[in-house]
Amino acid sequence: MTTSLRINDTAPDFTAETTAGPINFHDWIGDSYAILFSHPKDFTPVCTTELGYMAGLADEFSKRNTKIIGLSVDPVDNHHNWARDIEETQGHAVNYPMIGDTELTVSKLYNMLPADESGSSEGRTAATNATVRTVFIIGPDKKIKLMLTYPMSTGRNFDEVLRVLDSIQLTAQHQVATPVNWQRGDDCIIVPAVSDEDAKAKFPGGWKTIKPYLRMVPHPE
């Protein structure tokens, strides 16, 4: 029986066929961050817009030492054929690997489908894959940093995924948290575990105390 995944769990490792050849997931991640995102089915409208937009953001993720990999239960050959439609209609060539999870192995491993669901990808429709529109951000330590699941009819906001990645990477380096609607470069919050005395050394430029537990500091980078 598959247990539910949580933030800070080790991301399950797997081997899979992709449009870039076979991979071992943890080896593929290496010393990078990674985004594993799934979609319900190839040659469907919402997914076409999503994968095209993600291809357009590839350089931004690369700047952040982050690899991208897509997944659906369709065969790799379908991915290759669909990629032509994505480039034609969205203006961006898919420049990241896509996993062909035809036996539903990875989908079940990551709780995208019921663990006891039998069968393979054959005959499946977007409707029967309704739960497979998920996003995982995974760190170089192979720990899960973020999990998102969207309904089938709602395209994801990948700008938000990029924003959260910026927060994750910043807060991994500095003892800060990011407030509501934070964007890269905005002021941050000094975490409560840091005393005022320690904060003087960490943030010599000073900070603004709104409440003893709410201390705003300029972006530390």
Per-residue three-class SS string for 24-93: EHHHHHCCCEEEEEECCCCCCHHHHHHHHHHHHCHHHHHHCCEEEEEEECCCHHHHHHHHHHHHHHHCCC
Q: Of 82, 77, 108, which Cα lies nearest the Cα of 93?
A: 82
182 in helix, strand or coil? coil
Q: Which alpha helices (H) appear in 64-175, and where do they start and end? A: 76-90, 105-109, 158-173
Rounded to an integer, what distance in angstroms lies between the CA atom of residue 79 and that of residue 74? 7
As separate numbers, helices (DSSP H) first and strands (DSSP E) second, the chain gives 7, 11
Rounded to an integer, what distance in angstroms lies between the CA atom of residue 69 and that of residue 35? 6
Beta bridge partners of 147: 136
Tell me which residues are annotated as active site: 47
